[in-house]
Amino acid sequence: MKTKVAVLFGGRSVEHEVSIISGIQAFCALNQDKYEPIPLYISKDNRFYTGEALGKIETYRDMKACLAAATQVLLVPSENGVDMIRYPAKKFGNNVVGSFEVALPVVHGTNVEDGTLMGMLEMLNVPYAACDILSSALGMDKYQMKAVLNHAGVPVLPALAFTAKNMRSTPRRLPTALKAASAIR
């Protein structure tokens, strides 16, 4: 029996389109003899969609048609993993569109790669192939990551954290490099 693997991609991120391409590549690369890959697209407004057409890159040339061909779903924990429930539900008949046992997040950027999606997967109690919540969050916050690395004895350059409000009053030595530490709100 094949393991059902949901390949999650997209999401509310400036790297949305890159995630679609990466997700489709991962979807196509999974060994079809061992796994049953299931495309699970996350729209820019964080809605989940599934359907056979979502596993083909050409589908995404026309997003309106893409979403019309897909089924919007809600993810619900079940005895066998996670059920994908049609949303809005039909009044009659079965609304379980499918299910999966393992998640493969192929996501980029804020709201997905920063631990947010991993937190949801933890709540669904489904195994996933990605960093855990804390590792993902730290990886997206450069200042906090430097603090952790420094504490562990890894040599890092000195850093200051400041907001746009206190940037002018924060003392700095020259030369100075400015880089956004995180896109996390």
Percent helix / strand / coil, the chain, rounded to 5: 30, 25, 45
pTM of the model as a whole? 0.87
Token representation of residue 15: 């790297």
Confidence at residue 106, expressed as pLDDT on a 0 to 100 scale:
96
157-170-147 Cα angle (round to 5):
35
Domain boundaries, the chain: 3-137, 141-185
Q: Which fold has domain 3-137?
A: Rossmann fold (3.40.50)
Distance of CA 1 to the CA centre of its chain: 27
Confidence at residue 183, expressed as pLDDT on a 0 to 100 scale:
57
Confidence at residue 111, expressed as pLDDT on a 0 to 100 scale:
85
pLDDT in tens, 130-151: 999 999 988 888 888 999 999 9
Q: Distance between CA 55 and CA 15 in Å, rounded? A: 19
Q: Distance between CA 16 and CA 22 in Å, rounded? A: 10
Q: Distance between CA 93 and CA 79 in Å, rounded? A: 20
Average pLDDT of the chain to the nearest whole number: 91
Q: What is the mean pLDDT of each run of 10 residues along the chain (185 residues)?
A: 97 93 97 97 96 94 94 96 97 96 94 92 97 91 90 90 73 70 58
β-pair partners for 42: 10, 48
Confidence at residue 33, expressed as pLDDT on a 0 to 100 scale:
97
Q: Distance between CA 78 and CA 99 in Å, rounded? A: 9
Confidence at residue 172, expressed as pLDDT on a 0 to 100 scale:
67
Confidence at residue 185, expressed as pLDDT on a 0 to 100 scale:
47
